[in-house]
Amino acid sequence: METGSESFHTSSAIFHTSSADETREFGRALGALLGPGSLVAFVGELGSGKTVAIQGVSAGLGYEGYVSSPSFVIVNEYEGAGAPIYHVDLYRVSAADALHEIGYREIFFGDGVALVEWADRASELLPPERLEIRIAIEGRNGRELAVTALGEDMTSLLERLAALWKERDPHARPHD
Ligand SMILES: Nc1ncnc2c1ncn2[C@@H]1O[C@H](COP(=O)(O)OP(=O)(O)OP(=O)(O)O)[C@@H](O)[C@H]1O
Ligand SMILES: [Mg+2]
């Protein structure tokens, strides 16, 4: 865990999973910690596991229904226990036009929880306080999840997530 010293808090941690289920479990742990008005930006190549992670996050937020990539509609809305969940996929989004059409301000800055695939395609529209998860493929079933917390709330959330994950499996220790 690395913590920045500037006044805008940032920190980062790296996690590893060795199956889709483990990534879902990681997402579930994260989802249980997310409050209303938060945004998680997912970045990673096709098939890296963004949707799989979001399945877990949605479950952790209290939504037990099916979660699939909303590629053709840009955004799916699920009912979380405490707030609506907006599952956004920007893979096919060209420029900011489509985002303005769907009213991205309500989605990115409202009281719901926004989970955004291909978030790097609209980085300039994202709220400054957010969690970023970069997923890299490590072999067939291995994934590295590099998580960066932007802002004070997300920094403390990431600390709690890292502690939980470490406790759950002492061998899967997040490191810098
Ligand atoms: N450790 C792992 N974590 C997540 N997914 C894994 C892992 N190992 C294998 N997989 C497989 O990788 C695939 C990930 O697919 P997923 O749809 O989540 O990717 P994605 O990043 O959302 O892709 P896209 O950009 O097309 O939306 C699934 O088939 C999943 O079973
Ligand atoms: Mg996907």
Q: Which ligand is nearest to the CA of 135?
A: 1
pLDDT(170) > 90: no
pLDDT, mean of residues 67-90: 89
Question: Is 112:79 a contact under the CB 8 Å cutoff?
Answer: no
Q: Which ligand is nearest to the CA of 92?
A: 1
Give 2 or 111, the one with higher predicted confidence: 111
Tokens of residue 51, six digits: 């949707």
**H/E run at residue 56:** helix 50-60
Task: Give the predicted TM-score (pTM) of the model.
Answer: 0.92
CA of 47 to the centre of ligand 2 (A): 7
Tokens of residue 136, six digits: 């890299």
pLDDT, mean of residues 149-170: 92
pLDDT-derived band at 103 (thresholds 50, 70, 90) equals confident
Cα–Cα distance, 151 to 101 (Å, whole number): 28
Task: Report the SS3 class of residue 46.
Answer: coil
Q: How many CB atoms lie within 10 A of CB 101?
A: 10
Mean pLDDT over the full length of the chain? 90
pLDDT of residue 176: 45
Closest among 138, 137, 131 to 160, alpha carbons compared: 131
CA of 1 to the centre of ligand 2 (A): 27
CA of 166 to the centre of ligand 1 (A): 23
| Residue having the nearest C-alpha atom to atom 7 of ligand 1 | 20
* Domain boundaries defined on the chain: 7-117+128-168
pLDDT-derived band at 71 (thresholds 50, 70, 90) equals low
CA of 170 to the centre of ligand 2 (A): 29
pLDDT of residue 3: 65
Q: How many CB atoms lie within 10 A of CB 54?
A: 31
C-alpha dist (Å) from residue 65 to 9, 23, 62, 77, 95? 34, 17, 9, 11, 31
Tokens of residue 89, six digits: 């996929």
Predicted confidence (pLDDT) per residue in 114-153, tens digit:
999 999 988 899 999 999 999 999 999 999 999 999 999 9
Cα–Cα distance, 81 to 141 (Å, whole number): 31
Amino acid at 142: G
Pocket of ligand 1 (CB under 6 A): 17-20, 22-23, 44, 46-52, 69, 91, 117, 141-143
| Residue having the nearest C-alpha atom to atom 8 of ligand 1 | 141
**In CATH, what number does 7-117+128-168 get?**
3.40.50.300
